[in-house]
Amino acid sequence: MMNRISSRQLWWLLISVAVIWFANLEYRTLIKPDEGRYAEIPREMVESGDWVTPRLNDLKYFEKPPLQYWATATAYTVFGEHQWTSRLWAGLTGFAGLFLVWFSGRRLFGYEAAGYAALLLSSSMLYVLMSHINTLDMGVTFFITLGIFGLLLGQTETDPVQRRNWMLLAWAGLGLAVLSKGLMGIILPGTAVFIYCLVQRDFTVLKRMNWLSGVALFLLITAPWFYLVMKANPEFFQRFFIYEHYTRFTTKELGRYQPWYYFVPILLAGALPWTVLMFDSMFHLGRPAWRGGLGKPFNAALFLLIWAIFIYVFFSISDSKLPSYLLPMFPALALLMGRRIAQIRERLLFWYIAPVVPVALLMLALAINVGKFADTPNQIALYPHYSVWLVTAALILLAGLLGGMALLWRAQKPLAVLLIALSTLLSAQIGVSGYNTVARERSAKHIAEAIRAEVKPAIPFYSVLTYEQTLPFYLKRTFTLVQYQDEMGFGIQQEPERWVPTIADFAPVWAAQPQALAIMPVYVYPQLQQLGLNMKIIFEDTQHIVVKKP
């Protein structure tokens, strides 16, 4: 039983997970686009001192609210601007999510279910991977989960004072979720509550929401920044509330359209090695769980199921899809799986793990042959180095699965789950770390190292028909864009003087500078030569050329 673990063993387990979890935050090079973008915006906050108006490449950037920018900027201020400090918020919120699941699970479903749930979440592939990549998704997942779990604890609490406290925690969590990634932080949980009320035919839940004090706390957290940013930037409202929320969801404009079944393989792979258990947990709530009505107690397990299904369906019908959008499902699924594992016998769990063994063997075969998937010269040169890491990761996963199955056959369920969880976590971390061998194709760190001596604050630096997302962070400076807008198009519209519209316009600008630098895709260099630009190459690889004015 999970409750037989001693305090000393628990501490050693916690230390082991923490070491594996945080060990590689600095090891990997930042990759584009997200890691470069979300490392650079807070760097510019620190440099400018303006923590109200987010900027990317010194252009207004209103895609997302500032909570993660603030957290990362604080980490930069305290610890310095490093790869690990840029990833720290994702790593910390992902790790804190394990404690959140354990604490909530202990109160809702018991100590044993809570322990299993935390282990399962710490080893679900998608959750682990996204906890170590610098995006905004893990932060918003943590705070939405805080809001959801606060709601569950409040709705199942009988003491009025305790219920109020839990509900205030829920409102605070949702407020911080809104500051993390926008209105989804309140709209998605609110819709899930409404669906639960419909399914259970019980709207008394809404009477226990502590609306007055809860909304006041929510606004106290969210309103100050929105007021300040709109006061400083009148254009913010249309861009953020209309374009970023309505347009992103309902149109294909952002180029993230995928078919409705896009998330099927992501969910199946993201839940590994617990995929079969996940479906079993969802299908075995039992018919009594669906029998609601006035006077029935709040059903936390059913709400978790509704939440997970709703998140999947909501983003499946959206015209904008990314793998990380499923993350808010995983803490809820972990609680349902932890509850289910505590109920089932070892032999049944054995057969739930067995189908993952062929998957691990397939992963091993793909790892051995990863070089065959290379398309570019860079990939052909680098993929064989990545193969070593992937083979190691697949072997660790396979060993953990087989060892866990052997323990399950001997009726040692807690030890088996622990072994499978730790081996999966270690396997995922080795696979992520190994990506550093091929990161050169999606990172400009090597460019920054090659040209750093040429880069001076007073020398203008132009980025022609490209914007290499990671280069500003590594060079600690911004660029003047030439005939390139992409996601910075809105910022350029607000401050058009900060860019050069065309290559033809760029020629006299370059000629007028006593000193200048420019980076461009390889194919652009001949076009600039035809315009007669005086250039000397100081860096060149298969993707980019950097020149200076001699």
Domain boundaries, the chain: 1-29+348-441, 62-344, 445-548
pLDDT for res 266: 96
pLDDT digit string (tens) for 458-480? 999 999 999 999 999 999 999 99
What is the per-residue pLDDT for 284? 85
Confirm if 171 and 212 have CB atoms less than 8 A apart: no
Quote the pLDDT of residue 2: 56
Q: Residue 501: exposed, middle, or buried by beta-carbon count in 10 A (0-12, 13-18, 19+)?
A: middle
Nearest to 155 by CA among 169, 141, 136: 169
Q: What pTM, to 2 d.p., does this model score?
A: 0.94
pLDDT for the residue 6: 67
State the pLDDT at residue 371. Answer: 85
The residue ranges of the chain whose pLDDT is under 70 are 1-6, 245-257, 286-295
What is the structure's pLDDT at 294? 54
User: What was the pLDDT predicted at 169?
Assistant: 98
pLDDT at position 319 is: 77
Looking up tokens 């400076």 gives: 477
- For the chain, the first-to-last Cα distance in angstroms comes to 73
Taking the C-alpha atoms of residue 394 and residue 164, their distance in angstroms, rounded to an integer, is 47
What is the structure's pLDDT at 301?
94
One-letter-per-residue 3-state SS of 62-110: CCCCCHHHHHHHHHHHHHCCCHHHHHHHHHHHHHHHHHHHHHHHHHHHC
Question: What does the pLDDT read at residue 549?
Answer: 94
- The whole-number pLDDT of residue 4 equals 61
* Residue 375 to residue 221: CA distance in whole angstroms: 48
Question: What is the predicted pLDDT for the residue at 351?
Answer: 96
What per-residue confidence (pLDDT) applies to 396? 98
